[in-house]
Structure 1
């Protein structure tokens, strides 16, 4: 029997209403964007000016304010492709390792004079001047300085390889550690770049790793590529501060010379710290995930000579007390000092998983870019070009939309009108979902919407043609409509599921514009199936209940 339960009708209508409500802010894009920017500015600074309040009042706070973000090709902005010089990290590590090697070899008393010849590509060469016949002893001493570190598979491995060539002792970063170090360097570089860009409130930057040592950076709405380069070059602020106390009161007041900062790993906790840091991130040489003496995941760190001396004196005077690691105004960790940390290196222990120790190591080193960035490609997309792209995409959507509407009306009459109304709702639902997930719309994304408009009526065509076939079998209109929807369902699902799988593969395997196309195509398939199976059927049922026709013509 041709009917839809009352609760199903309510759910369908509510889904459509919510989707169109989420899409509504995009019809007032400039006004809503100014409202959002004003709200963000007031929350970040804590200061409310008349101008910001006026902009915030442009859009009611009780209405949704999420927008479909415009990509670089639509909004204009800057595009950079950077190559990270990962070998610099390996070289710096060997250079910082040299004093430890030198002191250990001299402490034997039998190896005699040694000389560092150079460091290149993560490899340090040392000549044994006096006693080259003591090479095996020297290799054993250096191997004793190696540390267990975490490989990409999570298995502990040695961080160095030691061998000899005649009287030359060669110390190099192990292959497993070289790979892991490269991964950490790239993760750290991307983390720093993203932090720097997000700090200025830029909307929806696209920061992706490409290949082994390259990072693609696209930032809509920024003036020029040089401006973006200057922004990325800014160093994040990392400090090590003395902890006075902790509190759960976000409005706690600090004395003169003290500051109150929130905890990153313990939400709701605030630390009162001495304003003057003990050591800054400029003194940090290295930070890596490792294991403590009990085999638990931990994080090791190393300062330069100056930072090591200051940190050693501080820890010797504050055994048993916590110290805070502060990054960009947030306490990322507050470990307790168990012993004096002398020699410029130490270890942070806690209930870390392997993943958490890797993440903390990245955050510790996020105070400065770990290696130099070489700019391989840079360009600026002007807002005029972006506006041209928007205009061209709008024209394409309108032409496709009108063509489909006219075709459906001429082909199926009243039923075609139902399909056309569902098509309009379908486009609104697509923009509602894009706004809800905070997706970025690019030119390929517009192409996906245009394609969806053409595909959206496919399901209706299958249904209507099936109804026509059932009418030819001398069945009544109600039964013909019911059978038309039932028998077309399998074909609709098969066609759309295969297309959705294609969109999913494009999203997983692709990047940038390809993923933008995949997102709009995939969401369009979901909304198209929903409007075809449920919305048009609801319209047809309501029309049939109202008109009670003896015969119908599709």
Structure 2
């Protein structure tokens, strides 16, 4: 090994830098533990303590906030929090760019785009396809009533569709980037630690991850609000009462509605003379009205007080039906004159309220608000000086100030109110009692909490989104569940590390110590790289680290086995070590084996998302650090030992003769292995077709809740009760222990919006409440907090479009990894038959794992869903199986090049037998580590680990009994012919040399 001094210096420097990087995590943990001790369970007190020291210098001149930002970042599954995928509505962007065109072809294409969209295809490209299908060349995108308009001056009617597409692609990209900036600014103001906000390719999606976030409904509202702020004059109830009565009469002729009982207690105190006329309810009445008054009035609880902007009161459950009635064309025709532009809107409903207030806004022909949020330059949470209640204060620019003065002056003169409308919801509708308001200052008042005013001010400061943002997938993890995952991961990691260390010492003696030191340095480098580059550590990432522990010693095993062979051949210790670290020794096999595994990891990075990408990143970093530490650190230690004439035999007295002189006829058993494997494959395929797979929500879409009860509960009862409540099939399974249930449903999964998610949560809580402690509130049930032991510990939602993309990604991940590896092996071994043997073995392993999951998922006491984690496990199995096969193939290639005597079958058998020690050691250590993870790694990891466990087991079998027999059957004749030609040529050259002599 040349330049040993330089190598040692680099290794030591790297180690010091790694220790420095990790020190930030230890310092942060120290102060966070101090905060916990100080607060004694009070989370608010703990947070204030950490905030108070944020600016203090705590470590080598850096503040606590700076130090905390450099610690190892933990994913949601380890720290808890919220992860959402937002879909910016490209449909809305296109409608806006087309100035809300009424062109039939355009609108049909918008509607069809989602249906024709293939997996991973963007909505914009799907729209282009749908437009071409619908227009059939008769309508152009540059038509005057589509994109050639004042909104889009870049387009003119002479442009081709291809030219317009280029403009649209640019505009859509700008809109998504604008939405990204707005959301980032909102999150920055929200105040979470180490948030992750990133654009997902060109799909119009934005990934937001908020570790430690707890108020779920508040976060969803913050992210999805488009912040379309408008100011409108309102009608009074007196002006539209006759319209409501007339609308009711029209609806009587069109709608048949059964008599409904309405409890008017909630609004009795607001009753007026008009109410008495229509409902027979007095202010003091608590009666229930049952007579049939017509479709609209049956739903109405009462009119608003005379002179107010409240048109009427309705149950929140009836809002959609009222909107449908008021949008009826025949009903709208009753609005005449200036009233024909009236817009109906609803007052914001507070948490826990069940009554909604209907207002009417004075619209206009262009449906353009007199003042919009674009004129707001500043917004802040404040307090009303008269009442002391939280409000949002705003300051407008000069244009807004002038318009505000005109609007307030007009409202004062007409004694009308001004509705402050955000995203079509009326936040307040104050009257103007002091005349026109100059200066552009105003405020939004209402029955707000401090948090609501902070969020509203935050949204207004960040600005409006260019289009609606819908949560198409989400995951919510409670911190208590995250801490349990950390504990389980640490336990399995430490146990795996200790067992591997003990085995290396037992099998390789003194040399085992050098492998252990290299492994420890490997982990140091691995965590330092994670910290330095800001990678996020996830639960699958911990699995990747544990797997790295298992596979890191594989390189050492290959090197040690080569050194042992050289020693047995009579070489000195120094010669044996030099040979082991050479290309002709272990290096060619090490490179090929690690490249094939790395290729599968790269495929996972490309096609994986979230935690799965974290697993792949961990795997790739682990491969790099394992190679460096085994080749450099181990080499330095082994060279030093040999140089000092230490007895380094790479064995112990017990293992000295293990796997020596092995001569098992593996190829001779190929008929038996073909028969066994064929029967097994047929059974697995039959099971897949008959039983199907337990497809997770990642692939089919749906909502999943992990709910913890305070006592054991029957999952069948939960399933039955919730199926009735959701009016759809609900699957409920015990997860971990009898008091923990995993609930899966597709109820309203295709509908987006914070209100929909909240409604689903409320239905879930209402129907599970009888099984929960009586004092548990909805907020405690849904939201996350440290120490939480009852309620929703984890929740996720995957919309159908995301599921479609995930399924496509999974397919290409598996197929892509096989194709890439096939090409690599064909190039490396220069014969496609080697690739065929390796890929056939992998296909065998994949079918076996799928078959096992298909057959056992109904009875397994742990989760056996086919989801993204399962695909990651499958690709890991592919990587390992290829790794194992390549080691054998590399020895076959070496023996053929070295002109080893015997037939090709004998050469292959010899190759398998001489690598058997490596196969046993690597497989045994990895399987033991996976068993530990399966036992101690926690419920959320068991299905993931089980797939790898059986995959690596069958992968070892296929490397010995499938790949090599296929290689023999497909390449034997050509190899034998080439060897015969080489021998004949060598003999001819020898004879020619003899004649010359």
For Structure 1 versus Structure 2, the TM-score category normalised by the shorter chain is 0.5 to 0.7
1:282 corresponds to which residue?
374
Structure 2 contact 196–207 (Cα < 8 Å) conserved: no
Distance (Å, rounded) in 1 between the aligned partners of 2:648 and 2:591: 29
Q: Identify the residue that residue 24 of structure 2 maps to in structure 1.
A: 25
Asked whether the 8 Å contact 1:456–1:525 carries over to 2, the reply is: yes
Matched, 1:549 2:646: yes
Q: In the alignment, is the contact (CA less than 8 A) between 2:563 and 2:650 conserved in 1?
A: no
Over aligned residues, Cα RMSD in angstroms? 4.4
Residues 224 and 380, structure 1, Cα contact 8 Å, conserved in 2: no
For the 8 Å contact 1:460–1:532, the answer to whether it is kept is yes
> What residue in structure 2 maps to residue 392 of structure 1?
488
Q: Matches of residues 345-424 of structure 1 in structure 2 within 5 Å?
A: 367-378=463-474, 380-424=476-520
1:190 counterpart residue number: 180
Q: How does 1:41-440 map to 2 (within 5 A)?
A: 52-53=52-53, 56-61=56-61, 65=67, 66-95=70-99, 121=107, 149=154, 158=155, 175-199=165-189, 200-209=191-200, 212-232=203-223, 282-283=374-375, 367-378=463-474, 380-440=476-536
For the Cα contact (< 8 Å) 1:88–1:371, is it kept in 2?
yes
Are 1:87 and 1:121, in contact at CA under 8 Å, matched by a contact in 2?
no
Partner of 2:622: 524
Q: Deviations over 1:440-492 (max 9, x none)?
A: 11111111111111110011001111110111111111221221222212221
Q: TM-score, normalised by structure 1?
A: 0.58
Q: For residue 207 of structure 1, report the CA deviation from its aligned partner.
A: 4.0
Q: Distance in 2 between matches of 1:388 and 1:508?
A: 30
- Which of 476, 496, 507 is equivalent to 2:594? 496
Q: Which has the higher helix share?
A: 2
CA distance in 2, matches of 1:80, 1:550: 59
Over 3 Å counting, the alpha-carbon distance change for 1:4 and 1:463 in structure 2 is farther
| Preserved contact between residue 601 and residue 620 of structure 2 (Cα < 8 Å) | yes
Match of 1:336 in 2: none
Q: Does the C-alpha gap of structure 1 residues 413 and 62 become closer, same or farther in structure 2, counting only changes over 3 Å?
A: farther
Q: Deviations over 1:186-209 (max 9, x none)?
A: 332223212321343531325453
Q: Which moved more, 1:212-221 or 1:202-211?
A: 202-211
* Residue of structure 1 equivalent to 2:283: none
Q: Would you tell me which structure has more strand in proportion to its own residues?
A: 1
Compared CA separation, residues 503 and 198, structure 1 to 2 (3 A): farther
Q: Check conservation: 1:79, 1:225, Cα contact below 8 A.
A: no
**Cα distance in 2, alignment partners of residues 28 and 462 from structure 1:** 39
Match of 1:9 in 2: 8
Q: Spell out, residue by residue over 1:150-171, the C-alpha distance to the aligned partner (whole angstroms, 9 max, x if none).
A: xxxxxxxx266899xxxxxxxx
Provide the C-alpha distance between the structure 2 equivalents of 1:551 and 1:219, rounded to a whole number of angstroms: 52
Deviation at 1:52, TM superposition (A): 3.5
| SS of equivalent residue, structure 1 residue 467 | helix
Q: How many residues align?
A: 378
Further displaced range: 386-395 or 527-536: 386-395
Q: Report if aligned partners of 1:80, 1:377 keep a CA contact under 8 Å in 2.
A: yes
Q: Post-superposition shift, 1:367?
A: 3.2
Q: TM-score, normalised by structure 2?
A: 0.34
| Rounded Cα–Cα distance in structure 2 between residues aligned with 1:143 and 1:440 | 46
Change (3 A) 1:376 1:522: closer
Which residue pairs with 1:450 in the alignment?
Answer: 546
Change in Cα spacing, 1:305 to 1:433, as seen in structure 2 (3 Å) is: same
Rounded to whole Å, the distance in 2 between the matches of 1:378 and 1:29 is 29
Q: Distance in 2 between matches of 1:418 and 1:437?
A: 28
Look at both structures and tell me which one has the larger radius of gyration over its CA atoms: 2
Change (3 A) 1:162 1:523: closer
- Is the CA contact (8 Å cut-off) linking 1:4 and 1:541 kept in structure 2? no
Per-residue CA deviation, residues 399-438 of structure 1 (Å, 9 max, x unaligned), is 2211211111111011001100110111111000000101
- Counterpart in the other structure of 2:567: 471
The answer to whether the 8 Å contact 1:408/1:416 transfers is yes
8 A Cα contact 1:76 1:380, kept in partner: yes
Taking the aligned partners of 1:178 and 1:3, their CA distance within structure 2 comes to: 59
In structure 1, how many angstroms separate the alpha carbons of the residues matched to 2:103 and 2:153? 26
Contact 1:94 1:122 in 2 (8 A): no
Q: 2:572 & 2:20 partners in 1: Cα distance?
A: 38
> With CA pairs under 8 Å and 6+ residues apart, which has the higher RCO, 1 or 2?
1
Question: How many Å separate the matches in 1 of 2:156 and 2:214?
Answer: 44
Aligned mates of 1:213, 1:27 — CA distance in 2: 39
* Residue pair 1:20, 1:425 contacting (<8 A) in 2 also: no
Inter-partner Cα distance in structure 1 for 2:537 and 2:506: 33
1:87-114 CA-partner distances (Å, limit 9, x unpaired) = 3334444549x9xxxxxxxxxxxxxxxx
